[in-house]
Structure 1
Amino acid sequence: MAAMSAFQFCSGAVLSTVFHPLGYAKVLIQLGHEPLPPYPTKSIFGRDKLIYPNVFRYIGHIRATDGFLGMYRGAVPKFLGGFVTGAVQSAVAESFPLDEPRADPNRDSGDFMVSIKALCITTSRETLIKCMGTIACQPINVIMLRSMAQFVGGETRYSNFLSAIGEIYENDGIMGFFAGLVPRLIGEALTVWLANILSHIINTYLVEDKGMQTYTGAACGLIVTHITYPFTLVSNLMAVNGSGLVAASPPNMPIYRGWVDCWRQLSKAHQLKRGSSLFWRYYNGPVTRIGSRLVAMDYAFSS
């Protein structure tokens, strides 16, 4: 069991490292940093639209600016965060072993109330495990996000892990290490509950094949994650907001009064899904026409 856990952790660390540039670019997109201007295209209805370059061109911009190693900014805290999360979740899971209720042998084994009780117990345990891991790694997550956000202004305040700890404590106090935690916890809990409930309904009433049922949970998780994505976005923005970084200060980002204020402003600007798509990223800002060409106003007269 220990050997299998070590293998899973190592394989996860390798995959995390390989795909880190994608996650890094996604964070910058979430922060609203768009250094590459959108270009004209056609919507599926034939309308003129502007679309931002896809994530691979964005990564190319990062490499052109910071070099190859620059694509791995924030990789060290991300790796540490993954290790801490895994260790804490494993410890919590061992401390709270799963003991599902059993059906009464004198009643139908598919008793509705028994299955609901089992669902609630399993989901509550999974929620506890997820949330404890999230709380434990949030300080590292804040450091990771702020180190990534430095790309926008070319800063170095959070480049060193130890100095980043001192920077956060000096400017924000202990609570600074948990910036963005509340929306992240809400998103995690909602994701677990909605995915498990949806999976339970599908497996109970729609899918009878046991082999197919093993894939239901993963599929439901992907669907629900898209629904709860705004919580992830708001959490990441609040983790850097007020840090003094160029990326987290006006005019690049407003100073939010709290995560609810952040949510409201993003919702008003129709930006709650910002960064959810890495390929079809339509520009929704003001536009103008130069000749017959559609151009974004934000970039039309920039140098």
Structure 2
Amino acid sequence: MADAASQVLLGSGLTILSQPLMYVKVLIQVGYEPLPPTVGRNIFGRQVCQLPGLFCYAQHIASIDGKRGLFTGLTPRLCSGVLGTVVHGKVLQHYQEYDKGEELGTGNGQKEVSSCFDRVIKETTREMIARSAATLITHPFHVITLRSMVQFIGRESKYCPNCSQLRTVNKRSFIVSSRRGLVPRLLGDIISLWLCNSLAYLVNTYALDSGVSTMNEMKSYSQAVTGFFASMLTYPFVLVSNLMAVNNCGLAGGSPPYSPIYTSWIDCWSMLQKEGNMSRGNSLFFRKVPFGKTYCCDLRMLI
């Protein structure tokens, strides 16, 4: 019980600290560029036309809504994090209690590599089920979080937690649209999890020698490294999920001219792939303006 409470507190603290970063990231993902590009230099020293980075973007938001405005969408995101942590922990606890009797009778005569591989498959499958259950339950809060942020574009207040209008949204259209973006989000989480654990197993088993004293510490870092690599590969699923969550929801940021109307997440994926925008929002610092790309920003067309 104390462990679950500590996880909730830690997760809530990280959520609060990372909220401005996520806010900027979501606005960039939907294609909102309120600031003109500037001339800068890349890591090789060459002059390039750059879009504003994280700090300039955050400063622009703060200049309009104040520093408190950087934490828009924090309340539903905290609710999502707390509920997701509880559901995730309950599912794993159920499996642990179920396995207590079986673990006592498990023999150690199997091959080490085979038993380790079987354990990776078993733990990954259970982690997948736990994460999927948490995602299914918390996705409506995730949708509210994203739409609360995108309201900045059209200066709406439809999804403000302090407004009585939110009840109307829940009773009407939101019940139907609260599952938008769920499929690509689930697929991204599942693929990322299996990639991360599979790569970590291969690295720990075949690339690192357990006989070296420092290898145990190296193995503890391999999970984080492979997790970062897996998240980069599955980023398009995150982008498509977020775009579908706000698409055609009655907000300016989810409607033309800022965003086309997508018929499905596959349509969204195909259109982004054709435009070469599958990594939009992945970088928050060195944001080069793509050649020939135009941005519609506050009645300005930036090239």
TM over 0.5: yes
When the two structures are aligned, how many residues end up with a matched partner?
290
1:212 aligned onto 2:218 = yes
Q: CA deviation at 1:163?
A: 3.5
* CA deviations over 1:147-194 (Å, ceiling 9, x no partner): 11000000001112663353154125x331111000000000001100
> What is the identity, as a one-letter code, of the residue corresponding to 1:133?
A
User: How many Å separate the matches in 1 of 2:120 and 2:109?
Assistant: 21
Which stretches in structure 2 are left out of the alignment for 5+ residues?
none
* TM-score normalised per structure 1: 0.88
| Superposition pairs of residues 232-251 of structure 1, within 5 angstroms | 232-251=238-257
Give the aligned partner of residue 37 of structure 2. 38
Does the CA contact (< 8 Å) of 1:230 and 1:272 recur in 2? yes
> What is the identity, as a one-letter code, of the residue corresponding to 1:83?
V
Residues 6, 106 of structure 1: CA spacing in aligned structure 2 closer, same or farther, 3 A cutoff? closer
Q: CA deviation at 1:285?
A: 4.6
Give the aligned partner of residue 25 of structure 1. 24
User: How many Å separate the matches in 2 of 1:105 and 1:248?
Assistant: 56
Report the 3-state secondary structure (helix = DSSP H, G, I; strand = E; otherwise coil) of the residue aligned with 1:49: strand
Give the aligned partner of residue 170 of structure 1. 172
1:56 aligned onto 2:62 = no
Which stretches in structure 1 are left out of the alignment for 5+ residues?
288-295
1:128 aligned onto 2:123 = no
Q: In angstroms, what is the RMSD of aligned CA positions?
A: 2.3
Give the aligned partner of residue 86 of structure 2. 87
Q: CA deviation at 1:251?
A: 0.7
* TM-score normalised per structure 2: 0.88
> What is the identity, as a one-letter code, of the residue corresponding to 1:115?
C
1:230 aligns with one of 227, 236, 255:
236
Identity, % of aligned positions: 37
Does the CA contact (< 8 Å) of 2:4 and 2:86 recur in 1? no
User: How many Å separate the matches in 1 of 2:108 and 2:14?
Assistant: 46
1:3 aligned onto 2:5 = no
User: How many Å separate the matches in 2 of 1:138 and 1:20?
Assistant: 17
> What is the identity, as a one-letter code, of the residue corresponding to 1:81?
S
* CA deviations over 1:48-104 (Å, ceiling 9, x no partner): 421111101100000001112111110101111101100110111112228598986
Report the 3-state secondary structure (helix = DSSP H, G, I; strand = E; otherwise coil) of the residue aligned with 2:300: coil
Residues 106, 175 of structure 1: CA spacing in aligned structure 2 closer, same or farther, 3 A cutoff? same
Q: Which runs of 4+ in 1 moved over 4 A?
A: 43-48, 98-107, 296-299
> What is the identity, as a one-letter code, of the residue corresponding to 1:126?
E
2:262 aligns with one of 242, 256, 259:
256
* CA deviations over 1:210-253 (Å, ceiling 9, x no partner): 22211211111011001100100100000010101000000100
